[in-house]
Structure 1
């Protein structure tokens, strides 16, 4: 079966595996962006239908936008044949079993993918440069805490970027996507985990002495609620003596590209 997949088919499979779930539009933006919007969508839907037929990819029962969204609302995951192909390629011995995600988990996962793909798309259009990117588990950092306890920092995304193509100034980022479902004290606690990890100096040893900026990319069901939550978190971080406020950026999703282009200044 692997020989029947084109280079683009393999790239699609790896992208879905990397992000866990991706929509038709997200896959179109990643792998068919050089085509016109109309033909690109048609060709991407045809390619994805073929991969579904071969069980390289599967789709969730729930669609983004509901049933009226049609095939454009399908959310893809790696199906049994795709998993077998990836295990053969990587040597991964354990089969990844599919379980239907909760709505909260799926919404968050797709939001993380949206931030990542938005940056990759900006890179492809020459608006900035993505030098390295790691999504969720690949971005996690394991370290020893107080008393030798083994701890894991779990950012949603790690990025190394330049504000322009070929730019000499490289910025590093840990990104957290908040969908409005966690309390502000929970976000402050997570922010303290970053401060704890920073104090170990591990990350600085691998990045020339600097620590990544920590971006809280926050949204909610209502725009007013999201703005209030951003304000509340910003205030709590600034008042917390244990947190280096200068390391945190608290933004809405539509500010991410500009933030990266400016190297952290808004």
Structure 2
């Protein structure tokens, strides 16, 4: 989808009245992570529906949101045409952005103030990277549901998770995660590595975190978040662990490496040691 189409105040008002609780949660999550597939939406917002009806209910819900221009589906899909609606990739459309802004204003939350535009389909590598971050968020929500006492205090994707270094530039993690129990809050910056970036480039990026810490920088919550690099396989994990060991102090302690499929478990185990990653 491309181009900008205006949405009137009357349309925003009407859409606000049509949205149910599940619709709002879907829009909020799309604002948070930018893109979600049909199967990710099933896991996030339709898991309480019987498997035989889940896909049908999700398709109906998303179709209504698309018709109301609250969301749109991108031209690409995960797994190609054979993946069906599970592989559709959704993001906010113009009206969805506007109703969320209206809600933010009503509740006193800051609003970006940029003009709402219809989304463009991003390049395939960028999209795959964004979906990997979305999958981490989905996995954490599933873990939160299954783990009494665990709460996701924050999950910000880029660019909301970017952090000023105090030296005129920015740390640019792919996500910021804050997980909490009654006693503790654990803060983590996440780098999603899909083995498409050269090792020297990743090494330079990790050095920016080390430099930030050595200058006395503090992140969200007034603490130094850990840096977690997620990777697709064990071979890539070992390569990046070796690179992290060669970082200046406190790099080897600051940086942790984990496979994508074990990330949610590791983050949870940091707060709740009895949980196995």
Q: TM-score, normalised by structure 2?
A: 0.83
The aligned residue for residue 10 of structure 2 is: none
Contact 1:192 1:243 in 2 (8 A): no
Distance 1:196 1:33, change over 3 A: same
Tell me whether 254-263 or 198-207 shows the greater mean CA deviation: 198-207
Runs of 5+ consecutive residues of structure 1 not aligned to the other structure: 220-225
Superposition deviation, residue 243 in structure 1: 5.0
Contact 1:83 1:95 in 2 (8 A): no
Question: Given the alignment of the two structures, is residue 153 of structure 1 paired with residue 160 of structure 2, yes or no?
Answer: no
The aligned residue for residue 108 of structure 1 is: 129
Runs of 5+ consecutive residues of structure 2 not aligned to the other structure: 1-14, 105-110
The aligned residue for residue 234 of structure 2 is: 227
Q: C-alpha distance in 2, partners of 1:65/1:39?
A: 22
Question: Given the alignment of the two structures, is residue 72 of structure 1 paired with residue 94 of structure 2, yes or no?
Answer: no
**Equivalent position to 1:139, from 161, 170, 178:** 161
Question: Given the alignment of the two structures, is residue 187 of structure 1 paired with residue 194 of structure 2, yes or no?
Answer: no
**Equivalent position to 2:244, from 237, 254, 258:** 237
Q: C-alpha distance in 1, partners of 2:133/2:144?
A: 17
Matches within 5 A, 1:1-266: 1-90=15-104, 91-97=111-117, 98-126=119-147, 128-145=150-167, 150-162=168-180, 166=181, 168-203=183-218, 206-207=221-222, 210-219=223-232, 226-241=233-248, 244-263=251-270
Contact 2:163 2:219 in 1 (8 A): no
Tell me whether 74-83 or 28-37 shows the greater mean CA deviation: 28-37
Superposition deviation, residue 158 in structure 1: 1.3
Q: Deviations over 1:113-142 (max 9, x none)?
A: 101111111101226432322222221101
Superposition deviation, residue 33 in structure 1: 2.3
Q: C-alpha distance in 2, partners of 1:195/1:43?
A: 47
Q: C-alpha distance in 1, partners of 2:247/2:31?
A: 38
RMSD (CA atoms)? 2.2
The number of aligned residues is 251
Contact 2:76 2:121 in 1 (8 A): no
Q: C-alpha distance in 1, partners of 2:102/2:269?
A: 42
Q: C-alpha distance in 2, partners of 1:205/1:139?
A: 9
